[in-house]
Chain A
């Protein structure tokens, strides 16, 4: 079945540092790809998405590019803030009805 692999955390950064969270997927074809964010005590929120190869999803300073050749969808942000501290989940929509989620990466940003 489909699987999504994302870098294990936790990731700890200082404010204004550059962030990369790696994500690779195994779904065949051209699945839609997603990044979700979960703040403490809350549900998952859609952060960004890309629906076809070479698409770049972006939101709140975060970006991820759908790379078909490397089956990757790495999340990046040029300058993180303390308020970005959360758990980040990569997901693919390769199956015909459900999303396959990675295990999540905990990000902590220190002032």
Chain B
């Protein structure tokens, strides 16, 4: 299995630009999670999907952040407009069922200047 695939691996953008991060979960997994990791705040859960439906987006920092999962094999996390404080590593993870172990992608390192 290819594991969770994320793209791009690195993204550098200027403040105010739109950023789209992409994730392909492991085939057969029905739960997908977006996390953000920073030195200051550690690992934060942003949003969780189950069977392509957003279940809990309480971790999304503000309206500038949005996430979609149009089908079982693809999800996006969009930031519009981006700000320097959004700089972080963003991870996507998937799991077979709710509460089961999650498998993480390699992450996207976002730098907003």
Chain A residues with a Cβ under 8 A of chain B: 31-32, 34, 36, 42-46, 49, 89, 93, 95-99, 101, 103-104
Smallest Cβ distance from B22 to chain A, in angstroms? 15
12 new A-B contacts, CB < 8 A, other than A44-B104, A46-B101, A95-B99, are A32-B101, A34-B101, A36-B104, A45-B104, A46-B103, A49-B101, A96-B98, A97-B99, A98-B45, A98-B99, A99-B102, A104-B43
Q: How far is the CA of A44 from the CA of B91 in the complex (A)?
A: 9
**Chain A residues near B99 (CB, 8 Å)?**
31-32, 93, 95-99
The B contact surface, by secondary structure, is strand
| B33 and A42 within 8 A (CB) | no
Smallest Cβ distance from A58 to chain B, in angstroms? 15
With A97-B56, A101-B43, A104-B42 in contact, do A43 and B91 touch (Cβ < 8 Å)? yes
Q: Does B55 contact A (CB under 8 A)?
A: yes
The A contact surface, by secondary structure, is loop
| A98 and B56 within 8 A (CB) | yes
Q: How far is the CA of A46 from the CA of B93 in the complex (A)?
A: 11
- How many chain B residues touch A (Cβ–Cβ < 8 Å)? 22
Smallest Cβ distance from A46 to chain B, in angstroms? 5
- 21 A-B contacts (beta carbon < 8 Å): A31-B99, A32-B101, A36-B104, A42-B107, A43-B91, A43-B93, A44-B43, A44-B104, A46-B103, A49-B101, A89-B43, A93-B99, A97-B48, A97-B50, A97-B55, A97-B98, A97-B99, A98-B48, A99-B99, A101-B42, A103-B42
